Amino acid sequence: MDGPLSDREQATPRLVLRHKWPTRLWHWLNALLLYVLFTSGLGIFNAHPRLYWGQYGANFDHPWLELERFGRWITLPAHYNLAMSRHWHLTAAPIFAFALLFYMLWSLLGRHLARDLAFRRGELAPGHVWQDIRDHARLRFPTGEAALHYNVLQKASYIGVIFLALPLIVLTGLTMSPGMNAAWPWLVELFGGRQSARSIHFITAFALLAFFLVHILMVLLAGPGNEIRSMISGRYRIPETHAEKGR
């Protein structure tokens, strides 16, 4: 049996492998591709900044949402050019779709989903969920070994993004393509028309933007150095427990 740790050993931060290379690679590739897709998508949207429900939508139809054109600071390219926006969008989209498919399969076959994201017994109990909400609201981040595991809000967010929001934005994007409509006509029926798919695509894109902003805020509040290092090298320093801080 090992003896007690010395003061120096107790003070030495523990570095552990938190993220495997497929997660790290997909994370940064996804960040780049989503930036390109979002900004070029707004450039495409500027060609007709209106949204409709159903199959058809044109200048004389009644939109459910009508906006001004987005500014050049948030579009790709940084000026109105529909052809270039489409070029950027359609170049990044297949890379994004196949990278997502690879990561989803790896998460399932490599047991990342079962090991790290699946809900455990009792985690969905109302009291447990409410406690996690209170801890987030008070900016009380886990310490010690608990910091290595996702809490229920993180699991719900990541599962929702990876297995719901991202596939939804891929499928609605395919629905807007006339070529894919000829090959997979069931997509148009699934979303209730090409204009409905365009509306859902737009809403989902901004939902992902909201998730990204909250994610960045949480990283900054939890300690950006440690969090970013773990997503680059995979190595994560386990935060001290409250008892260790008081020594």
Provide the CATH topology of domain 18-245: Fumarate Reductase Cytochrome B subunit (1.20.950)
Tokens of 112: 């990342």
36-51 pLDDT per residue, tens: 999 999 999 999 999 9
Note the pLDDT tens digit of each residue in 16-30: 878 888 889 999 999
* pTM listed for this prediction: 0.85
Q: What average pLDDT does the structure give for the chain?
A: 86
Residue 66: φ, ψ to 5°: -135, 125
Q: What is the chain's length?
A: 247
Q: What is the pLDDT of residues 83-115, one digit of tens each?
A: 999 999 999 999 999 999 999 999 999 888 888
Q: How sure is the predictor about 196, in pLDDT bands with cuts at 50, 70 and 90?
A: very high
Outline where 113-177 has alpha helix (H).
126-137, 152-160, 166-175
pLDDT beyond 80 at 77 = yes
Per-residue model confidence as pLDDT tens digits over 134-176: 988 888 877 767 777 888 888 999 999 999 999 999 999 999 9
Question: Domain limits of the chain?
Answer: 18-245
pLDDT band for position 185 (cuts 50, 70, 90): confident
Contacting residues for 239 by C-beta, under 8 A, at least 6 apart: 141, 142, 143, 144, 147, 223, 226
